[in-house]
Amino acid sequence: MIEIREVTTKAQMKDFVMFSFELYKDNPYWVPPLIKEELESFDKTKNPAFLSADAHFYLAYKDNKIVGKVVAIINWDEVNKLGKKKVRFGWFDVIDDINVTQALLEKVERFGREHNMEHMEGPIGFSNLDKVGVLTEGFEEQGLMITWYNFPYYKTHFELLGLTEEKKYIESRFPFKNVDAVTFSKAAELIKKRYELTPLNFTNSKDIMPLVDKMFDLFNESYAKLQSFVAINDIQIDYFKKKYISFINPEYIKFIMDKKGNMIAFSIVMPDFSDALIKAKGKLFPFGFYHLLRARKNSKKTVFYLIGIVPEYQSKGVTAIVFDEYAKTFEKFGIETCIRTPELEENTAIQNLWKHFNPEVYKKRSTYSKNL
């Protein structure tokens, strides 16, 4: 018999987080989160996502043993501002038992119907800065800190239960040697002169902080046309600023300013922390922090996390300046591999940014949906 219990205590929430560690304990491709960070992101008193989202956490039990988990989410900004009456589900993990999957998804459906939602979609998180999608190809490739990993049977379970693919994503990578630094340097100089643009580079995180609010305003503006985009509010900006910006190498954050001092483009790249997180095994102490700091300093792989350009500059070659600045930084740090985070398959504009580097698509993922 399968029993679904809602998480209501700190002990249960710890069980919720640790179930994934048990499920993937022998899998070399799964990248574990930091337990402390995961618990804090689920804490309604600490994560500002809960100011605009309702979320219920569920555990599935079989023979009194945890066999699955899911979070049912309603992002009220998405519902009220975009008119999308959708219940999300995320942080989904399950053993290979379709009956457990069915029981968990039925709980999500029930939660959605109780709030008059019209369909459900997942796996997705609370906001656009959370992880997204179930892996459909690339199961024998190492995951990233900012993506979910899963077994192949997840896709099978969803499709057998009547869910259909909603959004498709691709993940790509390319060797840094594919970057023609000379060509980008020449193009960058032309674009800088034509539009009177200036790149900003940093060596200290303190110098970045005063500009982070402008960066997220630009992020909201540049992604506003995507049909599923929900803007990041001021409280969320402050949260992400304090939690993440200071840990990212300042050299990996680039801003482009116009002659009036307005930010017209930004990009954030991170070292690949995957190997460090695998070694840390979910814990910062005693050695996890050491592994992360080593990766921050020595990783030869980088992950392109975010890039944003104001609409009026999106077809004017500004990316040449961005890539020229990164080419200089990557050469200095000895970077060998560049990795892209999940991109919507339909977003040809963003994919055109990378075509000059001959990227290899090495993973695919999708969200799945069902009408209620």
The whole-number pLDDT of residue 126 equals: 92
SS3 170: strand
The whole-number pLDDT of residue 137 equals: 98
For residues 59 and 18, the answer to whether their CB atoms sit within 8 Å is no
Going by pLDDT thresholds of 50, 70 and 90, the confidence category of residue 129 is confident
CA 316 vs. chain centroid, Å, equals: 27
The whole-number pLDDT of residue 104 equals: 98
**pLDDT over 90 (residue 268):** yes
What is the Cα–Cα distance from 297 to 291, expressed in whole angstroms? Answer: 10
Instruction: Show the CA angle centred on residue 371, arms to residues 370 and 372, nearest 5°.
Output: 115
For residues 252 and 306, the answer to whether their CB atoms sit within 8 Å is no
The whole-number pLDDT of residue 227 equals: 64
Average confidence score pLDDT of the chain: 93
Residues in CB range of 263: below 8 A, 6 or more apart: 211, 214, 215, 218, 255, 256, 257
Segment 60-79, tens digit of pLDDT: 999 999 999 999 999 999 99
Read off the tokens for 64: 């009194």
- Residue located via tokens 């500009």: 211
Number of H-type helices and E-type strands within the chain: 13, 14
What is the Cα–Cα distance from 252 to 239, expressed in whole angstroms? Answer: 20
**pLDDT over 70 (residue 127):** yes
What is the Cα–Cα distance from 105 to 268, expressed in whole angstroms? Answer: 35
Architecture of domain 174-363 in CATH? 3-Layer(aba) Sandwich (3.40)
A 10 A CB-CB count for 87 gives 26
The whole-number pLDDT of residue 347 equals: 80
For residues 144 and 120, the answer to whether their CB atoms sit within 8 Å is no
8-12, 35-39, 347-351, 364-368: least confidently modelled range: 347-351
Higher pLDDT, residue 247 or 54: 54
Mean pLDDT of 284-299: 91
The whole-number pLDDT of residue 165 equals: 97
The whole-number pLDDT of residue 339 equals: 96
> What fold is seen in the domain 2-172?
Aminopeptidase (3.40.630)
The whole-number pLDDT of residue 303 equals: 96
Q: Judging by DSSP bridges, how do beta strands 263-271 and 253-257 pair with one another?
A: antiparallel
SS3 326: helix
**pLDDT over 70 (residue 35):** yes
Q: In terms of pTM, does the model score above 0.75?
A: yes
| Strand stretches in 188-292, DSSP E | 198-200, 253-257, 263-271
Residue whose C-alpha is closest to residue 14's, from 286, 282, 290:
282
Segment 71-115, tens digit of pLDDT: 999 999 999 988 899 999 999 999 999 999 999 999 999 999 999
The whole-number pLDDT of residue 290 equals: 93
Helices (H), the chain: 10-23, 35-41, 76-82, 98-114, 153-160, 181-195, 205-208, 212-223, 234-244, 274-280, 288-298, 318-333, 348-354
For residues 22 and 35, the answer to whether their CB atoms sit within 8 Å is no
Read off the tokens for 30: 């799964």
Residue whose C-alpha is closest to residue 92's, from 71, 75, 111:
71
What is the Cα–Cα distance from 123 to 252, expressed in whole angstroms? Answer: 29
Segment 183-228, tens digit of pLDDT: 788 989 999 999 999 999 999 999 999 999 999 999 888 877 776 6
Domain boundaries, the chain: 2-172, 174-363
Q: Judging by DSSP bridges, how do beta strands 301-309 and 198-200 pair with one another?
A: unpaired
A 10 A CB-CB count for 317 gives 15
Segment 216-240, tens digit of pLDDT: 999 888 877 776 677 788 888 888 8
Q: Same CATH topology for 2-172 and 174-363? A: yes
Instruction: Show the CA angle centred on residue 70, arms to residues 64 and 74, nearest 5°.
Output: 140
Mean pLDDT of 305-332: 91
The whole-number pLDDT of residue 160 equals: 98
